[in-house]
Structure 1
Amino acid sequence: MALKIGTHNGQFHCDEVLACFMLKQLPDYKDSSILRTRDPVELDKCDIVVDVGGVYDPAKNRFDHHQRSFGETFCSLDPSKPWTIKLSSAGLVYVHFGKQIIDSVLRKYSLEDDKLVNILYDKIYEQFIREIDAIDNGVEIAETKKYDITTNLSSRVSYFNPAWNQDDLDENAQFQLACDYVGKEFEDKIKYYAMVWWPARTYVEKAVKSRHDVDESGAVIRLERAVPWKSHLFDLEKELNIPKEEIKYVVSLDRVSQTYRVICVPVADNSFVNRLSLPADWRGLRDQELSDKASIADCIFVHANGFIGGNKTYEGALKMLQKALEMSNIKKIKL
């Protein structure tokens, strides 16, 4: 007999939608029906209940976070983890079942790797679930916001709810559409980190370890391919005890144009602040005007914000870095 998942009816949010989808990735719940009700008698008949009922009790498969006494975070439930955002129902399900859920998704793509499961368990929380926890619990992204983000997953899920003038829409059918929508994004995120992000680690590690062959100062790494590198770089700096400010730039080949990109290393992943931006006098210039200003042949551009530039050749890209480092009194680069 198939198990039953319980959640509340009425307006739904991203957290319980995702919680239900994640549970259905588990072998025990893959054929489960979802009962949407607030009737405690009916909820007691369910095998697991999320986002309703006023109870958090893993032993009884109860995962609500709305009760006044609830204040759990990933860190409070697992002190080895750093995240201190209050958990939503999605976060609760993820903390307790996340590794099994990731393993089930990876197996769909013939990926069976315990090490990868553990790596993705942290990565998916940090880069996906945590945002949903924060939004559902009303945690602002910053103390002072310069603009609103209205295209996040939680916002998009809200539009699946029947509007005030859409009486002909079936609420349960809309909930299922939201589950499918959120589920695809969740699986796509796991696939990206498993199949694109994680394999890039080898390229970044090789570039970091050989950086002094490019530049005596260790300020530049050269990537053989344009791979996702930022989070790997920051992790490797910790693992290899590299001073945090030592690596300033990344050089990589643009596979479309077959020219070289010079990219500034930010102070943190997803930050717009650079450890060392390209010279202010170059910013916003292109082609011959930039080459004349920098006294370097084959320049293509430097972005107006100084975080990226380009040159037609590898040698030209390195000369751009040489000049940039010299202008900041870092003079150890060699070609």
Structure 2
Amino acid sequence: MFCFYDCKTKKNKERIKIDRKKTFKEVGTHDGRFHADEVMATAILSKIFDIKVVRTRDKKILDQLDIVYDVGGGKFDHHGAEKVYRDNGIPFAACGLIWNEFGGEVIKKENPDLTEAEIDSIFKYVDTVLVEGIDANDNGIKPEDREIIYMNISTVLSGFNPPWYLEDKEEELFFQAVEVSKQILKNTIQRKLEVIKAKDHVISAYKNRDRMKILVLDQYCPWQETLQEIDKEENVLFTVYPNQENFAIQTVKDQEGGTRKYLPKEWAGKENQDLVKVTGVEDAVFCHTGRFLAIAASLEGIMKMAEIAIHSSDRE
């Protein structure tokens, strides 16, 4: 078994028991909007196991699964207060935690003749050029904050070229790259179309808001771009919207791309009763360690959290 980084919290130094001989695994991650870290983590697991993916936040269901990541508070959930960091200071997200545990096995399975040193070299390369950027992004770290490699579309597509010893597959791989490009193009168009279709909805919510510093949406839609266009004086500090069965509060970007105001420091990484204790909000559920997102079970609860955040002295 390979593990190349010493994860620096007590929770993560404890090796969890995963039966490697059991090739079929029921794995779980959160439902709702998905992000690169749990998508790539799922891809990593699929390379070495035959997996059935369960997307839920129901702890009773998650507790029955073989591997759980990006949710549930276990070893592969990076949302707790005990953030896990690389030696260079970049925090792990679910992708990096899964890669750290299973990446060596992925490389070994696809290339059984490699030496330990060669596996180590490939493992670190993949972490540096792919996984670390995904983790940084999911933890709210912007490229300009520090030197981080983010894989770009040109690198992704050129990566379909065959290695020098498989040139006869060039034609096949070219069309694989074309298929991926078609989906990326479709998604890119769709992303901007979402913003355009949401514009009137966001403007209406902005004009009719009861609290100058809070934008309340009756359903989730892309709002950041439109809000920046219409809120020139930067009055709105937080946006509130439904999040599946719960409600979310999210920070707002300023004109330079920074954050107008963060959620309170004492909320960072706390969940359930720990978050209830520091907020006084009985149905508080979760606050991201990056302090840009928090969840409560009710609109009343999330609005109470918004009021607390507005009057907090924490800006960074």
Q: TM-score, normalised by structure 1?
A: 0.47
Q: TM-score, normalised by structure 2?
A: 0.49
